[in-house]
Structure 1
Amino acid sequence: MNLIDVLIQQHRDAEALFEAYRNAPDEEKPELCVRLAEALTMHSTIEERWVYPVARSVVDGSRIDFAVEEHGEMTQLLAELLRARRDVPRREATVRELEAVVANHMAEEEREVLPRLRQVDAGAFGLSSSEIVRSASDARREAMRQLDASSPR
């Protein structure tokens, strides 16, 4: 699977996690918050470290700058989500806000960025898609430790 297909699959996985969250009983929602944070952190890592530097060569830089800003917003919301995962009203509000930000980000990315990246040689990313996913998984673990460090136990 090429890297663009990996990213699109991650988008579908995030949508499925949000749907699972909406349909889950309350006692399962805190764990789904963690799963959402893990999935979105990994996705953001791949985009920021490998995709966006290459995307700047085929997409307007201001579009990429905006995407990076959206990632910052998502990261703040993920930290809030982990802190609030046992506080039902805060958690529900944060999930709604996060889902709106993520849905907008994915739609714009699939419309504006990813189609143009299909024209780029896969070697431009520096690693194979499986190597990128493996490296991003390691980075995700560290990012989750940092996000979770601010969360109550």
Structure 2
Amino acid sequence: MIEHVPIIALSTLLDPRFKNLHFKNAQASGKAVSFLRRVISEKMQSSSSGSENDGVPRGKCDFWLYHKVLVQKDRKRSEGRQGDELSLYLKNPMTPLKSNPIETWEDMKEVFPRLYRQFRQYAVVVATSVPLERFFSEAGENTSKKST
């Protein structure tokens, strides 16, 4: 089944129009959710294992360091209260089919920053040659009409 293809499963899960609604296999859905949780967790750990001074080289004074540390602590506290981003995202209603998922994510990126980064990585554009074929077909018809 196509839902077992990791990139397609993640792309579907991160599309706010579909999320996990169309997964026929609960195991495939759970696997995609677990993978996404693991990726987000690893990204959080790797970013928090960096220096406390938020990229400011040692020996340089950062006037706003204390503020940055307080903001980071407050963010971690609020994350614990709200639950994880993925659970909140999946509980939110799906967006209409006619909505543009890229625009939707631009609106949601402040609420779900980690998922937004994953969306940017896994969102795929469905490639199709139909518009190009239509263009050449019309061009061929116009050429045929001109030559007669």
Q: With structure 2 as the length reference, what TM-score do the two structures score? A: 0.35
Which protein has the bigger helix share?
1
* Greater relative contact order (CA < 8 Å, ≥ 6 in sequence): 1
Return the index of the structure with the highest Cα Rg. Answer: 2
TM-score between the two structures when normalised by the length of structure 1: 0.34
